[in-house]
Amino acid sequence: MKKLIAALTTLMLVAGSAFAQISVSGDVTAGITVIQGSSADDDGYFDPFTSGGFMDGFSIEVSGEAGGGLFGGWVNLSGWGISGYLFHDDGSRGDLGLEMHAFAWWRPSRMFWLALGGNDFFARGDLGLWGFYRAAGNVGVARPGNAWGGGYGMYPLKLSYAFYDGFSDWGAMMTISPIHEIDINIGIPFISMSLFDGEDELTSELQDIVQALHAQVVFKQPWGNIALTYWGFAEEHNIGRIFVDLHLLAIDNLSLMFGFGAMLFGENHEHDHMFSVGLGAAYRISDEFGIRARALAQFGDGYFWQGHDFGLLLNVLPFFQVTPSITAFASVGLAMRSMKANAGTILDWHFNPYIEIGPEEWGPKFFAGFQLWSETPAPNANAVIRWGIPIGLQVSF
């Protein structure tokens, strides 16, 4: 950590001498589950009570203006798996994993932006994905996994199949804006698709890299925007995905997002199908009260669906501003999966109230909440009820 701080300090000093104007920002995010448990008598990880935590990330961004345009750099370190049993005799502890994201960017003019490195870019459907729980999901006080899998329930649905969740590979990212109303976004995984040849070089088949690119066109209007996205895969059975994302802003205090996503299947999977339809909404009823909601319907059969032919997710998040610095939330949701192979249906639910304490919408915050949810392992099986008490901190600078 000392070496990291020294390197970042050097970076800022060098950047200060190179840029005519410079700005530095960053954040630190972490969360813990004070205690968690379940209704099962013998439930492995949750038996009898457990605790855990993680560092969602530390990031710093430096940007400024130089002779050739605007330049910038961003570094993020994330950790996970830091957990241990509160009441376990052998004193075992969880593992610590680290992941880094970093990129450098250049904007020589309004019409062109280029970045090299890795992070999530060009995501759509904000209310269906990160924008639903926002920072509360980052610290784990709300469970954001239903956006990407791993959320509430044994068979979580993925809103990222309906809303495009961005280019997350390492490589080159660029935006071309021929006019103000159109953005053309392209991500090419030059780094992620590289193969080590055993000596000094990283080499890749150009065809594979091109097949795995992400290409997106965004049409922007005062009433909202429409994005058309192609996500390529360099695989025979899975040749890509397509997305259509619509964001409407024409009604005061109301934001609506519609998403459609479909998988494109290749060789020996001509009869497979999987497509998803998503909805996200946010309505500010008054200065103190508002509500967010999202829904997902998934239809599929074949390789990626694994015998589940229909899924439905409903999630409602009302919030109330108790004071200028305290906001209370209550997430309520249902997740249903129709099991084709078992001729049955699984229905799970969750209830997740929490509070955010902080002076600004995007400023430093403290979070605390309570999580209660069910997990049903199979049709006609008894549900396991799980619960947890999480807290978290996000500090920005």
Could you report the per-residue pLDDT of 242-266, keeping only the tens digit for each? 999 999 988 889 999 999 999 887 7
Nearest to 81 by CA among 100, 95, 93, 99: 95
pLDDT for residue 234 is more than 70: no
Domain 110-396 sits in CATH 2.40.160? yes
Summarised one tens digit per residue, pLDDT across range 28-38 is 888 888 888 88
Sequence-distant (≥ 6) Cβ neighbours of residue 237 within 8 angstroms:
265, 266, 267, 268, 269, 303
Sequence-distant (≥ 6) Cβ neighbours of residue 122 within 8 angstroms:
164, 166, 167, 173, 185, 187, 214, 216, 229
Q: Is 359 in contact with 326 (CB distance < 8 Å)?
A: no
Summarised one tens digit per residue, pLDDT across range 326-353 is 999 999 988 888 876 666 788 888 899 9
Q: What is the pLDDT of residue 56?
A: 66
Q: Is 147 in contact with 126 (CB distance < 8 Å)?
A: no
pLDDT for residue 208 is more than 50: yes
Answer left, alpha or beta for residue 136, where phi above 0 means left and psi between -120 and 50 means alpha: alpha
What is the residue-averaged pLDDT of the chain?
79
Cβ neighbour number for residue 222 with a 10 Å cutoff? 8
Higher-confidence residue: 349 or 2? 349
